[in-house]
Amino acid sequence: MGSKAANSDSGRSLSLKPYHISEEYGFALPDPLVELPLYFQPWMEIAGRVSELVSSHSLRSSVHKMPVLETDLLQSHRELRLAHLALSIITMGYVWQEGEEDKVKVLPQNLAVPYWQVSQRLGLPPILTHADGVLANWRKKEPDGPLNMENLELLFSIPGGESARGFFLITLLVELAAIPALRAIPEVIGGVSDGDVAVVTRGLDVVSRSIEDMKEAFKQMHMYVDPSVFYGIMRIFLSGWKDNPSMAEGLVYEGVQAEPMEFSGGSAAQSSLLHCFDELLGVKHEEKSANFLTRMRGYMPPSHRRFIEEISGASSLRAFVLKQANERLTEAFDHCVAQLVSLRSYHISVVSRFITIPASRAKQRRCEGPESIEERNPVWKAPTTLEERGTGGSEIMSFLKTVRDRTKDVSISQAAVGSDV
């Protein structure tokens, strides 16, 4: 990360385009491709049927018959992103086809080698990331229609039916709600650089409203995602092979290297949004949380990661607000912090409903005997080793609460920030 001195003028020059951030779609990939050249049809065909093939216990055998394809025929960034998404969905299905009952230790060469090559070209890890499942996994049913649940559909999905669709698309809508904030961040940084209180205040007001809109979009998760389906079916297919006791040795990518590799599963911490807000507001996380969040940046597209680093290297917004001692500016800053705390508190309540409560029920069921669909069919068996963890491998509730509480700490008037949980 650059020094503050070296980047003192970064606010004036900071814009979204060089970091592949869209004015219309934010961090989401604008209008993702839905087809690859015909040569890659074997990948597309299997990726499109992952749920069905997992359900029939035949995904692994389908992958074993897959031809070895050359990735140098993939040319554009959008082709690479679609290929990475397809190979990611296939990989998650392949690894977790039988739940925790019959784990694989090796990803076969015909999948592992092209997946590694595509990942290297994109600067992404060879596992399903937020950048795949959310940012590059959507299309409009009606091209001129709105960006809402009625007009959006996934390109590929993990098992979980309508709940899986809801999970990925609501998360996309949360990303889209943040677009005004993303556009305002360079204005805020530029205002700090120019000493312009009015510009900074206006920009912070935009950021606040945008974070509030993110929370409103997030609330739709309860309408479209069934907690028992998320916990009992979907969650294992979002899980990785790092900090996961059920795959403690990692996964061998055959033909890439002989030693197993470890990668974290999908996590909200892989979204660039909250990293941007933290850097803008000067949130300093506790060491363990900070290390996890820093590691999650390696799961973002490199250009998005650089944007976060540019914000981090800019002159301190909080120091500027303190120095100005302007009541309206301080109020705008604190309101921004309060909205971020509120969003994080809401996230905690969602995790409680979708993970903590179902985990408690699953433990109770195991004591009472196998009555549920998960326990009758091992494919749908909820991962017992993940009960206290997020899919990214974090101890989820303690992590989220610590992150939320550290966010409160940057408030200039502590009374301005309450807690929703």
- Residues of the binding site for heme b: 347
What is the four-CA torsion angle of 391, 393, 398, 400, rounded to 10 degrees? Answer: -50
Cα distances from 290 to residues 283, 336, 393, 397, in angstroms, run 10, 21, 14, 15
Q: Count the neighbouring beta carbons within 10 Å of the beta carbon of residue 286.
A: 12
Q: Name the token pair of 413.
A: 């008037």
Instruction: List Cβ neighbours of 323 (8 Å cut-off, separation of 6 or more).
Output: none
Residues placed in the known binding site: 347
SS3 assignment, position 26: strand
12, two tokens? 């004036």
CA distance 310 to 54: 42
Residue 38 has a CB neighbour count (10 Å cut-off) of: 7
| DSSP H or E stretch at residue 252 | strand 252-253
Tokens in use for 371?
Answer: 């009555």
Computed from CA positions of residues 220, 224, 229, 234, in that sequence, does the dihedral angle turn out positive or negative?
negative
- DSSP per residue over 97-157, as a string? TTTTSS--SEE-HHHHHHHHHHHHHHT--SS--HHHHTTTS-EESSTTS-SSGGGEE-SS-
Picking from 224, 127, 125, the residue whose alpha carbon sits closest to that of residue 174 is 224
DSSP string computed for 163-217: HHHHHHHHHHHHHHHTHHHHHHHHHHHHHHHHT-HHHHHHHHHHHHHHHHHHHHH
Residue the block writes with tokens 């508190």: 345
Per the DSSP assignment, residues forming a β-bridge with 256 are: none
